[in-house]
Chain A
Amino acid sequence: MDVQQLIKEQVGNNPVALYMKGTPQFPQCGFSATAVQILKACGVPEFFSVNVLENPEIRNGIKDFANWPTIPQLYVRGEFVGGSDIMREMYQDGELQKLLAGIAEKV
């Protein structure tokens, strides 16, 4: 399958998708660790994630998918939300909690 198509399906089929370096249990980059912690703080401890270090095709493809050159990348309900800076700002403003509210209750 084409990698862009694969990513499209992943973000479409999962309410929360995080493309990161390492895993939620063992992040291998400080920014990815921050992203995981923020999701947990929003009441979303479990979510779909892709370790781009083990998926070089996705690591390259995800940068074109959102026209965004860095990892991590968060998608909620199929929409690109941002990287760790934007996640932190949205969390501090309470926006991310609102965005994730419906999802957090189900988990």
Chain B
Amino acid sequence: MMQPEQVQKIIADGLPCEHLQVDGDGHHFEATIVSAEFAGRNRIQRQQRVNAVLRAYFDSGELHALSMKTHSPEEWMASRG
């Protein structure tokens, strides 16, 4: 069973993030990810970028489900007013 901290570290190691928060119960995880790499990419491309980092864990079945909210730094600033 994976811990949220573990998932967070894998994402952080594979994707430069301005902000990253991962919560979860060991089976289902939720991540809020802010990365400059997301600018100019659509939702699918953003999640594919994150999924690529986590591919081995999805393939092995260790990681079952990860909900993501993906933002570019500009969107993140705007959403926080």
Number of CB contacts from chain A to chain B under 8 A: 34
The contact string, 1 if C-beta is below 8 Å from chain A, for chain B 37-57, is 000000110011001001100
Residues of A within 8 Å of B54, CB to CB, are 69
Q: How many residues in B have their beta carbons less than 8 Å from beta carbons of A?
A: 15
B16 to chain A, nearest CB (A): 21
Alpha-carbon separation in the docked complex, A83 to B66 (Å): 11
Q: How many residues in A have their beta carbons less than 8 Å from beta carbons of B?
A: 16
Interchain CB contact under 8 A, A85 and B48: no
9 interchain pairs, CB-CB under 8 A: A68-B44, A69-B55, A70-B58, A70-B65, A81-B44, A82-B47, A85-B69, A86-B47, A89-B43
